[in-house]
Amino acid sequence: MTWVPFLTVGLGLLLALLFAGVPVFVGFLALNILGVVVLMGPAGFGLFTNSLFETATSPTLATVALFVLMGEILFRSGTVDVLFDSIDRLVGNLKGRLYVVVISLSTVFGALSGSAVAVAAMLGRSLLPMMQSRGYDAKLSAGTVLAGASLAPIIPPSLLAIIVGSLADVSIAGLLVAGLIPGLVLAGLTLGYVMLRMGPQPEEEPGSTQQPDRSRIEAALRMTPFLLVIFSVMGLIMLGIATPSESAATGVAGAVLVAALFGRLTLKMLSEAIGSAVAISAVILVIVCSAKLFSQLLSFTGATRGLVSLTADLGLGPDLTFLVMMLIPFVLCMFIDQIAFMLLAIPIYQPIVKAMEFDPVWFWTLFLINLTIGSLTPPFGYTLFALKGANRDLTIAQIFGAAWPVVTIFLIGMALLWAMPGLVTFLPEALK
């Protein structure tokens, strides 16, 4: 149980540093260096450097930078305005319709990218400023973006689902398809929450006018070039032509083409988009690099394994075991990288899932949703930092405030999926 003091002191130190306002990546790096010195001495410096090296050269992280760049091009070229205005006209004069638009758009973007961090960064840079300028509630706007972004690892195609499938020896196709209904349920719950916040009375929204039918047809036509971006990402993955990382690059090419089609492609715009994308993604990726090192130390001291083993040794019934098995990733994924956690936990969870006779597709889908909730739970969720990094106008307090209702909505969604497993297993069963 040597991991207990390490975990207690380590987390205490990290919390103290972060709440003192130290940059997040510095907090993780400080703990990391200290941990290496205390646990391994100078002999651990090689491991420390190697961990930075491996993380900084992980091709999946390139996807984050590429999707941020795609968003920057769409935003800086003004083409996102076209999409936003078109959907705005099509949705009509509903109360709170821009929140509906944002949830729909972020669901689409989320479904395209598979990375909550990338989508939060992209939407935080592109759609959120537009909402802020139109006078929308800052917290609710940020909340809708966080919720939409958090659908990315759930709705297919999902990178995390592919990793879980390959590690847990579960049908990857089944796991991917299983995410569709839960993703839509969570999107629906978020919409329901927005409607509740808006109240029952129809009311004019800022910047809204009732549109004639002709204007709506025109709006629909103006949206068609965006099918190119969707095809460049989703289409090429579905056709098996590009991997998710490659499809992020083809998405960038699609965004460039759309900008050109609307006559808004300039070298200046491209250069600014690249500069901004580098700044945003470097802020995010440096945190990811530092957090990965922390998870390695947790693993080295046996803390992660110890916590998981403790659950198995408790001898609880299936329902309580399920609860504990979900509680561990919920807490740990506030602090550490989801992929790192999965690599450690899945081999240990797998025999417990079998022993408890949980449906594997159902269990791992809920596990996946849970990891996503962990990354949007204050104070350390990655998705929150991604949004803060992308949108300087939002304070961290506003983002935290926006995250709690989303966390609650997702937990309600999980409870629903736990009570009605058919929502998860129906599609995979139907496709068998």
Partner 1 sequence: MSASALHDASSRLLFRLAGAALAAIVVLYLFEVSARYLFNAPTTWSGEVVRYALSVLIFFALPEITRRGSHVAIDIVPSVLPERLQSALLRAGFLLGSLVCLGAGAIAGREAVRQIERGLMTNAAHPIPRWWITAIIAIGLISAALHFARNGLARKPAA
Which positions touch partner 1 (CB under 8 A)? 17-26, 29-30, 33, 45-46, 48-50, 52-53, 56-59, 61-62, 65-66, 69, 236, 241-242, 245-246, 248-250, 252-253, 271, 274-275, 277-279, 281-283, 285-287, 289, 379, 385, 388-389, 395-397, 400
- Please tell me whether residue 42 adopts helix, strand or coil conformation: helix
Cβ neighbours, 10 Å, residue 389: 24
As given in the structure block, the two tokens for residue 197 are 């916040």
Name which of 96 and 124 has its Cβ closer to partner 1.
124
Tell me the C-alpha distance between 204 and 202, whole Å.
7
Spell out the residues 6+ positions from residue 236 whose beta carbon is closer than 8 angstroms to its own: 242, 246, 247, 250
Minimum distance from residue 113 beta carbon to partner 1 (Å)? 15
Minimum distance from residue 334 beta carbon to partner 1 (Å)? 13
Tell me the C-alpha distance between 375 and 115, whole Å.
11
Name which of 107 and 290 has its Cβ closer to partner 1.
290
Name which of 127 and 390 has its Cβ closer to partner 1.
390
Minimum distance from residue 204 beta carbon to partner 1 (Å)? 35
Half-sphere exposure of 340 (CA within 13 A, CB side): 25
Please provide the DSSP assignment of 220-249 as one string: HHHHTTHHHHHIIIIIHHHTTSS-HHHHHH
Name which of 274 and 416 has its Cβ closer to partner 1.
274
Name which of 18 and 94 has its Cβ closer to partner 1.
18
Name which of 400 and 404 has its Cβ closer to partner 1.
400
- Please tell me whether residue 173 adopts helix, strand or coil conformation: helix
Minimum distance from residue 278 beta carbon to partner 1 (Å)? 5
Minimum distance from residue 236 beta carbon to partner 1 (Å)? 7
Tell me the C-alpha distance between 160 and 130, whole Å.
30
Minimum distance from residue 36 beta carbon to partner 1 (Å)? 8
Tell me the C-alpha distance between 294 and 33, whole Å.
9
Minimum distance from residue 293 beta carbon to partner 1 (Å)? 9
Minimum distance from residue 280 beta carbon to partner 1 (Å)? 9
Name which of 94 and 274 has its Cβ closer to partner 1.
274
Chain CA centroid to CA 351, Å:
28
As given in the structure block, the two tokens for residue 305 are 């394994």
Minimum distance from residue 22 beta carbon to partner 1 (Å)? 5
Q: Are 45 and 36 in contact (CB under 8 A)?
A: yes
Q: Which amino acid is at 28?
A: F
Minimum distance from residue 371 beta carbon to partner 1 (Å)? 21
N-terminal to C-terminal alpha carbon distance within the chain: 45
Name which of 167 and 274 has its Cβ closer to partner 1.
274
Name which of 208 and 281 has its Cβ closer to partner 1.
281
Name which of 8 and 53 has its Cβ closer to partner 1.
53
Q: Are 123 and 109 in contact (CB under 8 A)?
A: yes
Tell me the C-alpha distance between 344 and 297, whole Å.
12
Spell out the residues 6+ positions from residue 190 whose beta carbon is closer than 8 angstroms to its own: 103, 144, 147, 148, 406, 409
Closest CA to 128 of 280, 258, 338: 280
Minimum distance from residue 32 beta carbon to partner 1 (Å)? 8
Tell me the C-alpha distance between 429 and 59, whole Å.
33
Name which of 50 and 224 has its Cβ closer to partner 1.
50
